[in-house]
Amino acid sequence: MMRRRRRRMTTRLPTTCSLPITTTEPRPDSGLITSTRNQELPPMAETLTLLDYWPSMFGMRCRIALREKDIKFEYQEQDLWSKSPLLLEMNPIYKKIPVLIHNGKPICESLIIVEYIDETWKGKAPLLPSDPYERAQARFWADYVDKKIYEGGRNVWSTTGEDQGEAKKEYIERLKVLEGVLGDKPFFGGDSFGFTDIALIPYYSWFYSYEICANFSIEAECPKLISWAKRCMEKESVSESLPDPEKIYMLLLELKKKAGK
């Protein structure tokens, strides 16, 4: 049997992103690899599918977690402008990606999916610390990322003028809080890459877009955070899960054009 060469996600994307994305066939870098890396083999007839959308930070979290644990999964790209019956069936309440489908049963919400992955596949790469206090801190800061970083970033790229100035200032302040929490540690979890790192690192692929839209440099404001991000990108699980920042920027331009901005 021919060995399928694993390709980086970014090389599969067209040079211009035309919306809406309609393909739902498994992507070649979906984890259906036949490399000789030490892999956790699922029991017989176990199925694992990730319903996802390539630029989604939330989807990236799940990809990273699965890859950290070397788990085989099928990646299914979703068209968010024409949602598939499968997505609507698996997430009837929010109708959103990501959804992890394990043996036909759906798990929704990215951080919940990451915890599920950690609890189901305990053998390798624990994603949460073992100490309950440290776990509480990891959950607190991952929740902070959800509350403050997603909307903060969206405000930066979607506003203009004075509003954008305010949004930029606020966003940098929030990133600086995280930088303070990181301190001199290599990762938020200490020596090991873990839950809070997984929650935040997907945003690194969007930083380029924010910087271009609002004309500023996140590295100049938060150098330690960018060093941390580059350290994370050295991990295969991360570099394989984050798209090319330039592709995200092109998508953003298309989205803005469609919204008439």
Partner 1 sequence: METVKLYGAWPSPYSCRVIWALKLKGIPFEYIEEDLYNKSPQLLQYNPVYNKIPVLVHGGRPICESMVILEYLDEKWPQQPLLPTDPYERAEARFWVKFAEDKGLSIRMIYRTEGEKQEKARRDALEMLTILEEHGLNGKKKFFGGDNINIVDIAFGWIAHWMGVIEEITGVKLVEGNKFPLLKAWMHNFKEVSLINENLPNREKMVAFFRTRRSLILSAAWHPDFGFISRR
Shortest approach of partner 1 to residue 253 CB, angstroms?
30
**Contact, 10 vs 54, CB < 8 A?**
no
Summarize as ranges the residues that interact with partner 1 (CB under 8 A): 92-93, 102, 105, 107-109, 112-113, 115-116, 119-120, 132-133, 135-137, 139-140, 143-144, 177
Q: Whose Cβ is closer to partner 1: residue 27's or residue 69's?
A: 69
Strand order of the sheet with strand 74-77? 74-77, 48-52, 99-102, 105-108
Shortest approach of partner 1 to residue 209 CB, angstroms?
25
Q: Whose Cβ is closer to partner 1: residue 116's or residue 208's?
A: 116
Q: Rounded to whole angstroms, how far apart are CA atoms 16 and 227?
A: 30
Q: Whose Cβ is closer to partner 1: residue 54's or residue 121's?
A: 121
Shortest approach of partner 1 to residue 148 CB, angstroms?
9
Q: Whose Cβ is closer to partner 1: residue 133's or residue 161's?
A: 133
Shortest approach of partner 1 to residue 100 CB, angstroms?
9
Shortest approach of partner 1 to residue 83 CB, angstroms?
17
Q: Rounded to whole angstroms, how far apart are CA atoms 45 and 188?
A: 36
Instruction: Name beta bridge partners: 137.
Output: none
Q: Whose Cβ is closer to partner 1: residue 85's or residue 132's?
A: 132
